[in-house]
Structures are given as structure tokens and as C-alpha cells.
Structure 1
Amino acid sequence: GERSDASVADVWFKSRIAKVIEDVTGHMDEYQFSLAAERAYDFLWHELADWYVEINKFQSNPALVRHGLETALKLLHPFVPFVTEAIWQELYPDQLLMMAEWPKAHGTDRDAAAEEQFSAVQDIVTQIRNIRAHYKIPYTKQFTVYATTDTSTEVTHIIEQLCKVKLAHHTAPSGHTTDIINPSYHFTVSLGDLIDVAAERKRLEKELAQLDKYIANQERKLGNKEFTDKAPVEIVEKEQANLGQKKAERTHLEEALEKLG
């Protein structure tokens, strides 16, 4: 049964179910089987498993989880029939998946505003997780994220649960901070509480020195006409791309250093 008090996550997920049915059906109609399989797989792993199942650990709607799983199994059945049939039998021992109807997309379930809102939340969650990974903050350590934009009770709850953080709706204390920003939200993390700023600065400066050395060598190599004339074009292009990537890394490092003050 459907819940009447549909949450932001529920509305987003129903919209994504309708979208994946549209996409996979469209690819199948155009005989684009590889694209159809990729899209169904992407839905199963990156929308159902990575996000909706994780949210259901603290905000439960088992009927919609089941509906999402059933849809994924039906869409994937043409590509991995034995696996999907075996899983279906666990759900419905007296029914065959191969006899089930192909899912139909309900256009009324599509909700662009909910998708946009949830996408902004996903981006914030990813950015907070990246900060945790970048500064090697243990997953068990809860820290405070300061919100300078309004967030609904539900969005606050999702961010707190998925990131193991506490949201505070006031300005961050002055000092070493890093910002988490997208068009919908603006949060700040106070780094002084979480890391040894001096040690982190030292680590970044060491990385920057190594990167500068590498970039200088690479520029010298690509500035050598003998190398660029004689080496195969794809090798030269690969080296140029590599240099571009290292320069981008250098910019990120400089920004990280700047944030440390």
C-alpha cells in the first residue's frame, strides 16, 4: 500500500521509477539493447541501492522499495533472465517473472521539482562524504555542519543520517572552514574542530611541491620539439592530457591550502 504522507525521497523515487521505465522501453523499441541494459543496471545500483535503500534504513517505506525492486527485475529480465527469475521466485514462489507484464510508466509519477530538489540533497551528501574522505575523518566521528540556508526537517534528517553529521542552523565559528555549496544549499564545515590544521597544511605543501616538480618536467618534455615530432600522436596527446589533469589537481591543492588560511 502507498503511504499518503509521501516524503521527498518517496516522491523522487517514484519519479525515477517512471523515468527508468520510459528510458529502458524507449531503448528497447529502438533496438538499443546495450543502452537499455546499462540504464536498468544504473537504476538498480545507483538509485535503488545507493540511495533509496539507504534512506529506508531510517525512513521506511517497504512497499515502494519492493515496487522499485520488482521494476528493476522486470527491466533487467531480458538481459540476465536466470538471475532475475531466481530473485523473483524469492518474492513470488508461485509466479514466473517471464510471464509478468512489462512495466508501464505512469506519467503522473514524474515530478521534475522533486527530482531537482533531491538531486541537490544528493550533491550535498556527496560533498560532505568527500570532505570526510579527503581529511581522513573516521566514519564513526560525528561532526557539525553549519547551514546558512533553510532545510526542511526531512532534508535535515536525510543529510544527518547519511553523512553521520549534526546540522546546526547558525553561522559557523570563525577560523578554518570549508564550504559546501550548490544552487539550493549552502553549508560550512569548521575544520579547526576536526583536523590538525598545521599538519594538514604541511601535507598539502609537500604534495604541491611534488606536483610542481612533475609539471615542470612534463612541460619540459612537451616543449622538446624532438619528442613532439618523433613520438606517436596518441602518446603526445596522452602526455598533454596528463599535464592538464595535473594542473587541475594543482589548482585544487592551492584552493585547499587557501581554505586553511
Structure 2
Amino acid sequence: MASSFLDVCRFNPTAGGTTDWTYSSAVTGYQSPAAAGAVNGAAYSYRAESSDLSQWEIGTGTYNTSTGVLTRGAVLFNSAGTTAKINFSAAPQVAIVALAEDIRAFKVSIDQGNIPQTANFDIALPAGYDEIEIELYGFGCTVSGSGLVMLVSTDGTTFPTANYSYTGRFTTTADTTYHAFVSTSAANILSSLTFPVGGMSTLRVKVQRPDDTTTHKVIMGRLEQADANGFPAELSVAGMYLGSASALQKLRVNWSGGTSPAFAAGGTYAVWGVKKKS
């Protein structure tokens, strides 16, 4: 179970040894647990350290607002290289800290750069993440009347045109020439807005559990567009790749329709990996 957080909380306990931490006073420049808003019965991660740092302990415990006691429920690391309570020779300072184990989700930058001026843009989906987030900014199409399609690959080379299921919705105030739509075929995950020349767009994609080999993979896309005349439109689509046996290695954003469509100059992209914890 992840611990709760407190801002700049560090205190002196009444004693050292191996007993639980009983609050005595706040360290100068820091807040007491009460001042920091500690909640009765909530779990907190702590670091206890002697003044010369020769003895230290990192662990988790629960706080009692009535008694001012923070338990030493589980020791994760210590100066002795074990998970036992350190027998502090004097009362240490105890700080409420945030550990990697406490972070429920964190995002790591994977890649960024300029969108190539090609018809297809392939984006790697590295393993080890619960979700891959992809954003394409300020891009358009070189020709009028083309739409975006998304495909995924399990080997990094082949992009099948079947095994997809998806649904979508759109809102638009654009004219009837360039409008949002969702393809009715099963040849791709989604078809996006139909683009006029000069249309500027932002595409946000989330690929959930891309390396899971036990279930189908979910791909969610949201496209926001302003066409050449400044008319706004947006499209949200939830798609699923119906192949549970293989991990996904790449996502392809592909122009479809029109005459030799390609990404216009000026677009940029960024890719993040997200790890989540229960």
C-alpha cells in the first residue's frame, strides 16, 4: 500500500532505541506532523537518521494524532543493510518522505522531435510500461481531403489491417467540406478528421499495456483540429487491437485518401512511458 505525503515535515522523537517514534518537537525550519496535516491512522514513509548519519533507517508506519506516535511498522532499508529496526544510540531526526514505492504513477520521457514529412510515421512502443502516451503537435497534411489512420505492429515491421474494434464521436463547428468521421470498416483502429491543406492539429494517443500478452490492447485517440479557415473540430476514438498473444512494438500514424498525402512541415511529437502502481 502506498503511503500518504506531508510537506516539509521533520521532527525530533522522544527517544532512540527500537521503539516507535513519539513526537517531541519539530526540527527548525520544518513542520510538525500536526502542522503538516497528518491524518489519524494514515500510512507514512519516514527516514530516521542520527546526527552523524552513521545510523539511519527508512520505513513505513501509521500515525496516531492523539498520541503523536508514528509506528515503525516495516523497515525497508537501513544503515546495517538489513530490514530490522536500528537500535539508535540517541534520538534521531525523523522526516516524512516520499519513496519510489509511494508513487502511484510516474511518467518518463522516451522520445521527442520533428514529425517527418512522410505519409507514415512509425513510433516505437518500448516494453516495461503500463501505458505509452504520444502527442503530435501543430501538424497538417500536404493535400486536401486525407484522413489519419492508426495501425499497430507486433513485430515492428508488419502493420495488419484487420483485428481492430473501435468506436468514436466527434463535435465540430466546421463547414460540411471538411468534417469529422469514423471509418465503418475494420481496416484500422481509427480514421480521423478529413484534413484541408493547412489544417493545424494536435493528436493525443494512449496505448494501454502495450507489452501485455494476456489480453487485448486498448488504444485511445483524441484529435483537435483547426482547419484552414480556423474552424475547430475534435474527434475522440477508443480502439482495441484484438490480439492478446503478442506485445505491441510500434504504432503507425498513416495518411489515407487524397493524392500522395504526407505530413506538412512544422509538426513536432513527444512520447512518454507511464508506470502505475496499485
Shorter-chain TM-score tier: under 0.3
Larger strand share, 1 or 2: 2
Larger helix share, 1 or 2: 1
TM-score computed with the length of structure 1 as normaliser:
0.23
TM-score computed with the length of structure 2 as normaliser:
0.22
The structure showing larger relative contact order (alpha-carbon pairs under 8 Å, at least 6 residues apart) is 2
